[in-house]
Amino acid sequence: MATNTVSETAEGLSLRQSRPRYGEKIIRFILALAAFVSIFTTFGIVISLLIPSIEFFMEVPITDFLFGTVWTPLFKNGEFGVIPLLSGTIVITLIAIAVAIPLGLGASIYLSEYASERVRKVLKPTLEVLAGIPTVVFGFFALEFLTQAILIKIFPEIEVFNALSAGLIMGVMIIPTIASLSEDAMAAVPSGLRDGAYALGSSKRQTAIKVVMPAALSGIVAAFVLGISRAIGETMIVTIAAGLQPQLSFNPLMGMQTMTSYIAAAGSGDLATGSIEYKSIFAVGMLLFLLTFLMNIFSIRLVRRFRQAYQ
Amino acid sequence: MNQPNEITMHLDHALSARGASIPPETSDPVFTLDNVSVYYSDYEAIRNVTLPIGRNEITAFIGPSGCGKSTLLRSFNRMNDLIPGAHLKGTVAYHGTDIYGPNVDPIEVRRKVGMVFQKPNVFPKSIYENVAYGPKVNGTKGNLDDLVEECLTRAALWNEVKDDLKKSAYALSGGQQQRLVIARCIAVKPEVILMDEPCASLDPLATAKIEDLMVELASEYTIIIVTHNMQQAARVSDRTAFFTAELDENEIRHGRLVEFGRTRELFSSPTDPRTEDYISGRFG
Ligand SMILES: Nc1ncnc2c1ncn2[C@@H]1O[C@H](COP(=O)(O)OP(=O)(O)OP(=O)(O)O)[C@@H](O)[C@H]1O
Ligand SMILES: [Mg+2]
């Protein structure tokens, strides 16, 4: 057999490409272009953030920016300490996490381990619809309904714009992200592991918590990170419901400004291009970008490790 | 034309040495199946099985693919309960108690009746944690080091892993993983171990180790094994149940028990021609 093939080739059986395949090359180019668009955009964003940020840091020392506790960009001799914006972001994100992680994880365990096929088929898409509601709707819901109709009765001293309502509603907003991705991770756990757990006399709860969840852990953590990134980057809800007062406070009943709502508010105002206030938008944007970028890298790593676990 | 004799002679050679001491009738059954039929929704996968499982014996289930061996095996520890729509008729009596009766907790059944699967399903935890898992969920508190060592020793794995107990179980070879699963199973101290083609994904050397282990474990446990390997059934089992899948009067396929008896007799002088055809390789 083998010698036969060799001799045929030697006798001139041509294995070279018989005609050029231009279509193939064009398709390949278009597909590559599609893949590179997002990379180019990311680079574009980084560069457009970087230049004004560098200009900003030539006027405001980076240590003043990172460690300063007063943010008054619109005052004469305004101060640019980003800590109040950072604390606002952190407080609201923590409230959102406190809502979204238990509920999202609970929903995902229910969907993947307890719900019947029929219930899951209805419930999962319904939950995912939540993710499709525009955030501006969530924002008004937080301000008009949650604060005015509920929170004010529980905490009479609450401010109209407050971190609590924004955080709670933001938590609700990211539940679908966390629930849906965690459910995917748990559904990907081989059923043999569940059988193994049940065969050792585990209850449903023990199987879900001691075998399925640890097996899906990196996928679940990646879902958390993605949900948290969304919370950090969320703008509309906080702008509407938490107000625009940059204050260094951990009292969730007070109004707060986050990095995103500062960017949105300042960016839509009439700041003179090239002014220091204008450049501060980019510095804050840069910080926000770096924070979410680091979180995403972290989650990609986790997801990769999660895939490796089952080869 | 065919040479059933030559093949059965070959199996004869494999027949376990334990065979001689097995009484003709099961005298002290751990399980007694009476007219058991198992359904997936309204499909009857296996019909009217009546069968005793002797204490400290190895019972082999053999038969062509799809005849319901796994289905029947999973009814001994109520694993079929986990499949939506699966249900059972007849009685599966464990020491006289119908395990499908009222007031029976399937979790308690599974603690008494362990199971080893075809694909080694080690948990993504350390070797130690795999063995300790069962005792922990069953409420054993305190130090499990001795139990872990004992079970790994019983499963003939201790010497290979004693320095790597904290390593991930995924780092083990397939054969080692299967022995780890056996160690994990006996850590719960079951009375019966069900094995569904435990060597199907293993090489001959790893298979030989598991077979030795089964024979070794039979002094203490009652074992039921499903296998496609005639040699294996002949080598390790004391009794064999042969199943086939047949069309009934309504042209619907369902599994049936054809013949059950001492492995020695079933392989050397089967009473049913279908058994003879199957074990001599003319069928399935
Ligand atoms: N979860 C299930 N739902 C519906 N039908 C099933 C299910 N599992 C098995 N069956 C059907 O029941 C019959 C018996 O299957 P079973 O797996 O018990 O056969 P088996 O003898 O173990 O076969 P094999 O030797 O291939 O493992 C088959 O017809 C199969 O299609
Ligand atoms: Mg099977």
Question: Between A and B, how many residue pairs show a Cβ–Cβ distance under 8 A?
Answer: 69
B178 part of a folded domain = no
- Confidence bin at A17 (pLDDT 50/70/90): confident
Task: Assign A22 a pLDDT band (cuts: 50, 70, 90).
Answer: confident
Q: Do B137 and A214 touch (CB under 8 A)?
A: no
**Model ipTM value:** 0.90
Task: Give the Cα separation of A212 and B98 in Å (integer).
Answer: 31
Q: Is residue B176 within 6 Å of ligand 1 at its C-beta?
A: no
Q: Between these two residues, B206 and A6, which has the higher pLDDT value?
A: B206
Q: What is this structure's pTM?
A: 0.83
Neighbouring residues of B56: CB distance < 8 A, sequence distance ≥ 6: B218, B219, B220, B221, B222
B221 lies in a domain? yes
The answer, yes or no, to whether any atom of ligand 1 lies below 6 A from the CB of B252, is no
Residue of B nearest to A204 (CA): B107
Q: What is the CATH number of the domain that holds A278?
A: 1.10.3720.10
For A17-26, B194-203, B256-265, which range has the lowest pLDDT when averaged over its residues?
Answer: A17-26
Q: Is residue A59 part of a domain?
A: no
- pLDDT tens digits for B118-127? 999 999 999 9
Alpha-carbon gap, residue A49 to A30, rounded angstroms: 28
Quote the domain boundaries for residue A112.
83-309
Determine the distance separating the centroid of ligand 1 and the alpha carbon of B87, expressed in angstroms: 14
Count of helices and strands (H, E) across chain A? 15, 0
A194 vs B contacts (CB less than 8 Å): 82
With respect to residue B250, please indicate whether it lies within any of the assigned structural domains.
Answer: yes
Kindly give the number of the ligand 1 atom that is closest to the alpha carbon of B118: 27
**A41 occurs within a structural domain:** no
Angle CA A178–A183–A185, to nearest 5: 100
The residue segments making up the domain with residue B251 are 6-15+26-115+192-279
Q: Report the domain count for chain A.
A: 1
Q: Is residue A206 part of a domain?
A: yes
Residue B262 lies in a domain: yes
Please indicate whether, in this complex, the C-beta atoms of B107 and A202 are within 8 angstroms of each other: yes
Q: Would the CB of B178 count as within 6 Å of ligand 1?
A: no
User: Chain A: nearest CA to B112, how far in angstroms?
Assistant: 9
- Over range B77-88, report the average pLDDT: 94
With respect to residue B139, please indicate whether it lies within any of the assigned structural domains: no
Higher-confidence residue: B85 or B281?
A: B85
Within chain B, residue ranges assigned H as helices are 4-14, 69-74, 106-112, 127-137, 145-154, 158-161, 174-186, 204-217, 230-236, 263-268, 273-279
List residues bridging with B46 in a β-sheet. Answer: B38, B255
Number of structural domains chain B divides into: 1
Provide the pLDDT for residue A268: 84
Q: How confident is the model at residue B2 (pLDDT cuts 50, 70, 90)?
A: very low
Computed over every residue of chain B, the mean pLDDT equals 89
Chain A residues touching residue B115 (CB < 8 angstroms):
195, 199
- Residue A67, pLDDT > 70, answer yes
- Checking if the pLDDT of A7 tops 60, the result is no
Measured between beta carbons, the chain B residues lying within 8 angstroms of A201 are 107-108, 110-111, 134, 137-138, 188
Q: Which amino acid is at A59?
A: E
Taken in order B186, B188, B194, B200, the sign of the CA dihedral is negative
* Structure confidence at residue B48 (pLDDT): 94
The share of chain B scoring above pLDDT 70, in percent, equals: 92
Buried residues in A239-275 as b, exposed as e (16+ CB within 10 A): bbbbbbebbbbeebbbbbbbbbbbbbebeeeebeeee
Residues A33-47 pLDDT 10s: 999 998 999 899 899
Question: Does some domain include residue B166?
Answer: no
In this structure, what CATH number is given to the domain that contains residue B87?
Answer: 3.40.50.300
Task: Calculate the alpha carbon distances from B201 to A224, A250, B176, B204 in Å.
Answer: 37, 58, 12, 10
Band (B12; pLDDT cuts 50, 70, 90):
low
Amino acid present at B146: D
Mean predicted confidence (pLDDT) in B103-121: 95
Sorted by sequence, the CB contacts under 8 Å of residue A219 that are 6+ apart come out as A181, A182, A184, A185, A186, A188, A302, A303, A306
At A273, list the tokens.
């291009």
Mean pLDDT across chain A: 89
| For the CA of B68, the nearest atom of ligand 1 | 18
